[in-house]
Amino acid sequence: MRAQDIPGALLELQQQHQFRQRHILETPQSSQVVIAGKSYVAFASNDYLGLANHPALIEATQQALSRWGVGGGASHLVAGHFAVHEQAEQALARYCGCEAALLFSSGYAANQAVITSLVGRGDAVFADKLNHASLNDACLLSRASFRRFRHNDLQHLEELLASTPARTRLIAVDAVYSMDGDEAPLKELLQLADKYDAWLYIDDAHGFGILGDGRGSAAENRLQGERLIYMATLGKAAGVAGAFVAASQQLVQWLVNSARSYIFTTAQPPALAAAVLASLQLIAGEPWRRTRLQQYVRSVRERLADVNFQLMPSRTPIQPIIIGRNEQAMLLAARLKERGYWVPAIRPPTVPEGTARLRITLTAAHTQDQLEGLLDCVVAATQS
Ligand code: PMP
């Protein structure tokens, strides 16, 4: 893109209702946020358990800042790996029932690390069509043959596995699909991985903290085995930032020695590792947050099914309403905003063409009144 082409490209995005703008939050992450001086009840974040602004996490981070300072100062391999990082990794591994865990500054970096460290030219990656963009980018970067199977279609996956010659095979899936809220058939995927001697890489960004009593999708499905690699992000239900990979000790050692997005980046600030430790205590110790979420999921589905909305098969806090046209989704989001509710309209290329949607995300920080207010408005906005 040359500089002189940018204005035209931006205009085109506007005309297609695909121009994106950031909202500037003037208050912390919560069920109620202020944007441009106006307060909204927000159904927009991935802070599912309501921990991003929790006093225990703030307190732990403040104490850790006093003890460890702000910056990591170097990459983990050079001089940026602190005792608190080590402690957080051990706690995460224990919690997920894995031998070892490795912390990353983001899920994006973790996905790159695992995929590019295990597959390259001559290998093949098999990816669900609805996988997160960070997984797709990692697959492309790896230079392995990149085969995409129809969403949750095990038969299609098996056809591709059987027909793609490769030295190393890796199946990569989201455990919970971020824009739909539905889940991958993990048990069956692990069986296919066993049958075709492939790795199964699970991105549980939206399941960790929520499913399996908080331990995530792999634990809920009692998945185990040397082919399994589990990744979860820490900026969503955990309310912090970063991600971790949980696997065997040897795989973690291999990542430390080979993953470029681990080696060539500054370590996550150590105070955030302390925040992760505090968050784990709440994830494990306050199951009422998940119980409340389940109750909210039921309320949304019961109420919106009554008025014939197209919902997705989701039992997770991601409860999208499929609208179809970009313009229509934008209009509905704007109507809700006028009434004081912030629900993002998600458009292509984030979701397939013709499936623009309102992506309602529920959190344990919402109240039943806030939720009922939203549902009343959604029904009214789509009928007016
Ligand atoms: N995987 C999935 C499924 C995600 O939804 C996201 C974040 N939206 C990521 C990975 C990337 O994680 P992070 O935001 O920590 O980079």
CATH T-level topology, domain 55-285: Aspartate Aminotransferase; domain 2 (3.40.640)
The question of ipTM being above 0.90 is answered as: yes
List, in order, residues 6 or more apart from 320 with CB less than 8 Å away. 179, 180, 181, 311, 312, 314, 346, 357, 358, 359, 360
The rounded Å distance from CA 64 to ligand 1 centre is 25
236 is catalytic: yes
Q: Strand, coil or helix: what is 267?
A: coil
Q: Which atom of ligand 1 is nearest to the CA of 108?
A: 16
206 is catalytic: yes
What ranges do the domains of the chain cover? 19-49+287-383, 55-285
Which of 114, 132, 217, 316 should be mutated for ligand 1, with most atoms under 8 A from CB? 132
From 236, 261, 314, 366, active-site residue: 236
Inform me whether the pLDDT recorded for 109 exceeds 70: yes
Average pLDDT for 122-134 = 97
38 is catalytic: no
Average pLDDT for 238-251 = 97
The secondary element (H helix, E strand) that includes residue 101 is strand 100-104
- Model pLDDT, residue 309: 81
Average pLDDT for 175-203 = 97
Identify the residues whose C-beta falls under 6 Å from ligand 1: 106-108, 132, 134, 174, 178, 203, 205, 233, 235, 243
Instruction: Look at ligand 1, atom 12, and give the residue with the nearest C-alpha.
Output: 107
- CA 266 to CA 248: how far, in whole Å? 24
Average pLDDT for 348-365 = 94
This prediction has a pTM of 0.96
Pair of tokens at residue 117: 């460290």
Inform me whether the pLDDT recorded for 67 exceeds 90: yes
Which residues on adjacent β-strands are paired with residue 38? 35
Average pLDDT for 49-72 = 98
Over residues 145-175, the pLDDT tens digits come to 999 999 999 999 999 999 999 999 999 999 9
Q: Which residues are annotated as a binding site for pyridoxal 5'-phosphate?
A: 107-108, 178, 206, 233
The rounded Å distance from CA 42 to ligand 1 centre is 20
8 A C-beta contact, residue 369 and residue 340: no
Superfamily of domain 19-49+287-383: Aspartate Aminotransferase, domain 1 (3.90.1150.10)
List, in order, residues 6 or more apart from 353 with CB less than 8 Å away. none
Q: What are phi and psi of 27, to 5 degrees?
A: -135, 165
Q: In what order do the strands lie in the sheet with 318-324?
A: 318-324, 356-361, 345-346
Inform me whether the pLDDT recorded for 25 exceeds 90: yes
The rounded Å distance from CA 324 to ligand 1 centre is 24
- Model pLDDT, residue 226: 92
The rounded Å distance from CA 233 to ligand 1 centre is 6
Over residues 308-341, the pLDDT tens digits come to 788 999 999 999 999 999 899 999 999 999 999 9
From 142, 178, 279, 314, active-site residue: 178
* Nearest to 271, CA basis, from 34, 80, 46: 80
The rounded Å distance from CA 234 to ligand 1 centre is 9
Instruction: Decide whether 19-49+287-383 matches 55-285 in CATH topology.
Output: no
Over residues 254-305, the pLDDT tens digits come to 999 999 999 999 999 999 999 999 999 999 999 999 999 999 999 999 998 8
pLDDT band at residue 384 using 50, 70 and 90 as cut-offs: low
